[in-house]
Amino acid sequence: MIREHIRLVLFHTEDGSYLGNCLGLSFFSNIDPVGQLEAVTFASQTEAFQHVQSWDPDPESTAFRNALVAKPVNTADAPYATIQQIQAAGLPGWNPESI
């Protein structure tokens, strides 16, 4: 039996689920999922939004950051949420190979 464990994913209505970042670039499921099958999760809203605040403080991106919401997902005690877990939470999935 898979244990329920709720964590949060960041979601933007246009750009999709926040998948993570690398070399200062953030990746979202609707823009460039870079082959990612999972999205990074956060233990709390505070942790999620502290992470968002660590991004480039460009004033033009304030509206974008303000449009992000933290959505609960059952991750079965994993630090990442799979596409299927995100869909089960009512959020759209993505094609990992699309650009």
User: Is residue 10 situated within a structural domain?
Assistant: yes
Strands (E), 1-99: 6-12, 16-22, 25-28, 38-40, 69-74, 80-82
Is position 69 within any domain? yes
**Residue 30 domain-assigned (yes or no):** yes
**Which residues, listed in sequence order, are joined to residue 69 by a DSSP beta bridge?**
11
Position 83 in a domain: yes
- Is residue 14 in a domain? yes
Q: What is the pLDDT of residue 99?
A: 63
Q: Tens digit of pLDDT for each residue in 76-98?
A: 878 899 999 999 999 999 999 87
Domains identified in the chain, total number = 1
82 in any annotated domain = yes
The model carries a pTM of 0.87
Q: Classify residue 67: in a domain, yes or no.
A: yes
Domain region containing 73: 6-88
CA separation for the pair 88, 98 (Å, rounded):
21
CA distances from 94 to 10, 18, 35, 39 (A): 15, 11, 10, 11
pLDDT tens per residue, range 10-34: 999 999 999 998 887 889 999 989 8
Domain assignment present for 93: no
